Structure 1
Amino acid sequence: MNSLNNLNIQPIENGELRKLLQHNIDQKTKPVGSLGFLEELALQIGLIQETTKPELKSPVMLTVASDHGITEEGVSPVPTRITWQQVSNFINGGGGIGLFCKQYGFDLYVVDAGVDHDFEAHPRLIDKKVRKATRNFLKEPAMTIDECDEAIRNGRDIMALFAEKGSNVVGFGEMGIGNSSPATALLSVFTGLPVEECTGPGCGLDQKGVQHKASVLRQAFEKHGVSDKPEQNLATYGGLEIATMAGAMLEAAQRRMLIVVDGFITTSAFLAAYEICPAVRDYAVFSHCSKEYGHVKMLDHMNGRAVLNLDLRLGEGTGSALAYPIIQGSVAMLNDMTSFGEAKVYNVVDETGNIVSK
């Protein structure tokens, strides 16, 4: 795919900087390891930014929206017009994502990747519409390979623009009625898990509805099969918002930005990016573990650990925003927490009997 020709994501290094960061963390006035996952986050962010004094600059939230032809098969109980109505709500500061971005300091933009609606121009709306909704992938691939490539390129272009403006943190979220079906399909395709083990209620299906959704997805797999090329699977079963997010995530990693991933659908985009280039994993923080059934399976596949577990299943990027203060706390701990030397606390030993401060 042309959109991936110049992709070059470097894994975060494991040499002297890692040792120095770990030493600095261990020298803080606390028992070694006592701040748990917070210490791992601080180490990761320092390695991403290649410094012992990382900074979080100009965090941006991208909520990417699209409609889905698979809704023709009754896989969602919610009418598709909700997609464009919620986009209008978000760009005017409404919804959960509008509230939490304001609360936690994110600059919110909504990307129209394929909403079945014509919007008026708005400073918070980024028009990257490839087409009005994907096709019904029970009958034909959701996107052509060229459309998928365009969506990936759009995501990369958007991310490049924000990076060049100085942002080094990006949160991702989504909006799109029916998009738990492509996310479920991608989970099954990329992990090899049976589709029945991946399918959940999405926007509120009952058990009969969940069984119907799984049946629709199974029929689609029987029709199209599974490719050994992740980009082809993304085109066949994905969504325009999912492909756009995947492209933006890849570009963010290439530019050594911190990627904050939301819930089930957003993580399916990250899963696609991971299948395209596994090194992207080093740059991600998974904000929470969704209540949607398949999310934990995605995280397990990528050896991902969630910051929060609050039974969230709203999407939009809300989990990314809610986890951000904890990410900020990890950086503050690394940069500002007193060390044993600064506090003049000496001859401290760890649990193994080794002196950590002299």
Structure 2
Amino acid sequence: MKAILIAAAIAMVVAILFTPYLIRFFSRQGFGQEIREEGPQGHQSKRGTPTMGGVAILVAMWTGYLIAHLINAMSDGSEAPTISGLLVLFLATGLGIVGFFDDFIKIRKGRNLGLNKTGKMVGMLLVAVAFAIVASQFPDDFELRPASLNVSFVRDIAILSVGTVGFIVFCYLAVAAWSNAVNFTDGLDGLAGGSSAMVFGTYVVISFWQFRYNCGVDQPTVGCYHVRDPLDLAVIAAAAMGACIGFLWWNAAPAKIFMGDTGSLALGGLVAGLSITTRTELLMVVVGGLFVVEALSVVLQIAVFRTSRRRLFRMAPFHHHFELAGWAETTVIIRFWLLAGICAMFGLGLFYSEWLTATGS
């Protein structure tokens, strides 16, 4: 429990203190955000705001995670970082690097288009496949690997076994879906950062609960979870939550810096990684419900327009629809934060109710 609190606190402080240095550095380098001409006109005033702030989130998250382990090791000789924790951090960092190149190209070319679809897809594919192979094949004394070949809700669903190849494909689809979903949500000041903090806060509770009621494959116990390294995953979720909150200090409206694709792709990768390693892939659809709605709004907008040549929403992603309907930006942000919180709490309620059912409580 101590490591969780330390990771969250350190990550938040690092993000709050480090982000202003990034703002000044990126401003001097001219690393300003480009704004879509077809977007809401009120956003044009944001042109030139420093971007790639996701660097601060990643630095804060890594710092909080490593310092928490260092302090624990010095005080009581706790275990070193685990394979599950490092895999999730690798996934987030790898996607953050893909996002960084995307942001950098946008800035250099002075347009709102960075990597082409092929370049971004290849980058995501390489990171996701590396994660999937290690997560599904890494050996363990008890044969409990970081990820299961079964799709899970709160526990493995036996009839939804996908096999090794299927798991690699599933991982790529999950990574691509969540990264794009968070990226779509990152369209208003603080919307993605605040929503992500709620999701990661929920996974602090879920992972810690799995740690309290964890068991190996050779130790069947009613209601227990077959999850590898759940406590370390809780530490990562706490560090990510703290990093998002600290970054939000500067990213809240009116934003002094944007996270860019560097941040949104990294956070999407973290969402995917946590859902896979905690074996709650389907539950994450509920916990991260706001991200799902934002992504679906884009898919529906494209599908309806291509079939009927009409627009379902005034503009997609969904949050822009309400801006164009006359809502103030801060109103949209706060109400969407409320929706994100409702989704997170509902998902946590489903998680707990499943445990009650499993234990017969």
TM-score range, shorter chain: under 0.3
- Give the TM-score taking structure 2 as reference length: 0.27
Give the greater-gyration-radius structure (CA): 1
Where is the helix percentage greater, Structure 1 or Structure 2?
2
Where is the strand percentage greater, Structure 1 or Structure 2?
1
